[in-house]
Amino acid sequence: MTDIAKTTTGAPQNDLILDIRDLTVHYVLEDDCVEAVNDISLQLKKGRILGLVGETGAGKTSTALAIQNLIPSPPGVIKSGSIMLNGRDVLKMSEKELEAIRGKDVSMIFQDPMTSLNPVFTVGEQIAESIRLHENCSDREALERAGDMLELVRIPRERAVEYPHQFSGGMKQRVAIAIALACNPHLLLADEPTTALDVTIQAQVLDMMLSLKRQLNTSMIFITHDLGIVAEICDEVAVMYAGRIIERGTLEEVFNHTKHPYTEGLFNSIPDISNRKAELQPIPGLMPDPTKLPKGCAFAPRCPYCRSECIDTPQKERMFSATHGVRCTAYNDPAFRIRREEIDS
């Protein structure tokens, strides 16, 4: 297996905010074991945005939770790997050390602000809580800074005394972003932060997040199903399927030089605005049961290029450049490589 960390050596080590190597996360149940994340490696440079793309159940959220060592145990178990955040291994930190970095060095915007905001505390108190925990300041100073954060996400500071139910869905999400950014984290994990928003509010939130990223030089992992959002804000892309990263590279490489059949299927499922009569080409079938993952390629039953070797042979990563890698057994067949080159051209 080609290790991503060994093939992206173009970036100096001190330029990395995050370095994940060989991470495996399982959820051990009474009768089954859910193999949620399987031997993934990722790197992220300071000030960059990585889009983590894949279907529901691909392992994206488990990866984000593992970065903060927040996998619920039981049943979750981090079986192997290392997660270096600013040069320190998160998986070897004590609980006290973890509390010090969560919200300060790394923060997370959860998918549903309705469940991440506490309904019995004002939004100002919830933002101030993180500031009081990580910064040496009084309650008054923390509340003042909470007001500053609300204005940063375009909410009047006077509304700090209001409760979450008094805000619209888009404003709740902005409050969640304000909480995550309150202590200027080095790394922001955004777990589908715009999924529940209408397109107008979604555009406003994305524009605001980009503006804050430039202002604070925050690195970001943006988890989403929406390839349009990835194209708009991301520098790099990693495509997950059945707990593995099956294609990764720069935005230009993954979008304009797609290599994996699953990534190709994702793009074929997007409506063509220039040809409204064109029919969508959805990917047939469903993701495999994560408790019964196959020995070979997990995408093989849905792949139009599947060969017998794909079913039985474990996937190995093939590098097409210093940054563009794909796990696809079919590339062992010269005829398949020629056919894919013809498609690319």
Residues 312 and 209 in one domain: yes
The residues near 340 (Cβ < 8 Å, ≥ 6 apart) are 259, 331
Domain of residue 124, residue span = 114-184
pLDDT score of 304: 87
Residues 176 and 189 in one domain: no
The pLDDT averaged over each successive group of 10 residues in the chain (345 residues) is 39 78 94 93 93 92 94 92 94 92 90 84 94 88 93 90 90 88 89 78 79 83 90 94 95 93 89 75 88 92 88 88 91 74 67
Q: Tokens representing 267?
A: 């793009």
Residues 155 and 290 in one domain: no
Residues 53 and 10 in one domain: yes
Report the C-alpha gap between 13 and 86 in whole angstroms. 10
Residue 96, number of CB atoms within 10 A of its CB: 7
Residues 278 and 321 in one domain: yes
Q: Tokens representing 298?
A: 């997990």
Report the C-alpha gap between 35 and 291 in whole angstroms. 6
**Number of separate domains in the chain:** 2
Long-range pairs for 7-10: beta carbons < 8 A, 24 or more residues apart = 7/317, 7/319, 7/322, 7/325, 8/43, 8/322, 8/323, 9/322, 10/322, 10/323
Going along the chain, which residue ranges are E strands? 16-28, 33-45, 49-53, 76-85, 88-89, 106-109, 187-191, 219-224, 236-241, 244-250, 317-319, 325-327
**Mapping DSSP to helix (H, G, I), strand (E, B) and coil, where does residue 200 land?**
helix
How distant is the alpha carbon of residue 174 from its chain centre?
19
Residues 14 and 97 in one domain: yes
Residues 157 and 77 in one domain: no
How distant is the alpha carbon of residue 323 from its chain centre?
18
**Mapping DSSP to helix (H, G, I), strand (E, B) and coil, where does residue 333 land?**
coil
Report the C-alpha gap between 261 and 258 in whole angstroms. 8
The residues near 191 (Cβ < 8 Å, ≥ 6 apart) are 60, 61, 64, 108, 109, 110, 111, 223
Q: Tokens representing 80?
A: 């192997």
Report the C-alpha gap between 247 and 162 in whole angstroms. 44
Q: Check which CATH number belongs to the domain holding 297 and give it.
A: 3.40.50.300
Among residues 146, 168, 184, which one ends one of the domains? Answer: 184
pLDDT score of 245: 96
Residues 139 and 230 in one domain: no
In which residue are the tokens 């469940």 written?
115
pLDDT per position as a tens digit, 245-281: 999 999 999 999 999 999 999 988 887 777 777 777 8
On the 0-12 / 13-18 / 19+ scale of CB atoms within 10 A, 30 is exposed
Residues 283 and 197 in one domain: yes
pLDDT score of 74: 87
Residues 131 and 266 in one domain: no
